[in-house]
Amino acid sequence: MRLRTLLPGRLGFGTAPLGNMFRAIPEEEARATLRAAWDQGIRYYDSAPFYGAGLAEIRLGEMLAEHPRDSYVLSTKVGRVILDEVEDPAARDLGEKGGLFEHGRPNKIVDDYSADATYRSIEESLKRLGTDRLDIVWVHDIAQDFHGDRWLAQFETARTGAFRVLSKLREEGVIKAWGLGVNRVEPVELTLDLDEPRPDGFLLAGRYTLLDHARALQRVLPTATEQGVDLVVGGPYSSGVLAGGAHFEYQEAPREIVERVGRIRELTERHGISVKAAALQFALAHPASVAAIPGATRPSRIAEDLGALDERVPDAFWAELRESGLLSPEAPLPTA
C-alpha cells in the first residue's frame, strides 16, 4: 500500500524522545505531550523497541489505549529485541550514537534482524503498545552509524530474514506496509536496487533536512519517486538543532553546524518566519515526501509544529536561501 494513501496527514509524532532520549522525562510530562498531540489532531504515531528499551512504546500504548484502534495509524520497528535481563544503559555500544538512551529502561538490547527475531520483536511490541495490530513496520538502524564495518553483514541478515517476514505479513494482511527506518542513505539505496522483496516506503531520519539533503537528492529520492516508494521524514529538525536545541545527529552540535544554523536563522528573522516552518516545509516539498514526524517532550511543541506547517513562507526566502549556498540547486522548493 502506498504510504501516501495510508497515512492520515502530513504531520505525525515520533516517540524517540519519550524513550528518555538525552534526559529523564517525568511520566506526567510524557503523558501530557502525547495527550496534546492527540487533542490537536495528530493521528500517526511512530515508535521502536530501541527507544528507551521499550519505554517509548509503553508510554505511547497507554495513551492510545484511550482511543479506538481504527482512529490512528501506528508504526514501530524490528531489528532489536528487548530482554528481561538488565545492563548499564550508559555502557551500551551504540556506534556513533553512544549514550543515546542512557536514561531509559535498563533492559538488555540485542541486535537481531533474523526471521525469528522479527516475529518475536513484533509480538513483544504489540504487548508493550497494548494493541492487536501494527500498520507499518520499519527495519531499524541497519546502517553504518550503528554497526560500523558490520553493517553489510547485518543488511544481508535482514534481507533474508526481516525483509521476507515483513513481505509475508503484508501479503497476509497482518500489516499494511513495511520499509527501512534508518539515519543513512546507503541501506535505502541498496534496498531500492533489490528485485525482491519490495518495500512500501522508508523512514529516513536526518537525511532530508535543511542541514543535510544533498546526498539524498542524488539517488534515493529520484529512485524512490520513480518506483512509487514513499518517504517519511524523521528528524526534520536535525535532532533539535534547527528547533533551538543543542544536538545534531543525536550528539552535541559541532561548530560548523551551529554556524550554519545561525545563517539560516538570520534569513528566517529577516523574512519574519520561524526556523521550524522553513525546516518542516522544506522536508515536505519533495514529491516523495508524504509526512514528517518530529518528536517532542513538551506539550507546547505540538502547537508549534502544527503552526509551522501552516505558516506562510515567502518565495523570496527560499530564493535567498538557495542564493546563499545553504540549499541544493536540485532541491524542490515549497513555493506557491
Catalytic residues: 46, 51, 77
How many C-beta atoms surround the C-beta of residue 321 within 10 A? 22
Residues in a beta bridge with 107 = 86
Q: Where are the alpha helices (DSSP H) in 106-198?
A: 115-129, 144-147, 151-160, 162-171, 186-193
- Cβ atoms of 279 and 267 closer than 8 Å: no
Please give the Cα distance from 62 to 202 (Å, whole number).
Answer: 26
Q: What is the DSSP letter of 208?
A: S
Q: Are strands 13-14 and 44-46 parallel, antiparallel or unpaired?
A: parallel
Cell of 263: 545563517
Sheet holding 177-182, edge to edge: 13-14, 44-46, 73-78, 136-140, 177-182, 201-205, 230-234, 289-293
Comparing C-alpha atoms, which of 207, 165, 214, 212 is closest to residue 187? 207
Q: Locate cell 522544506: which residue? A: 282
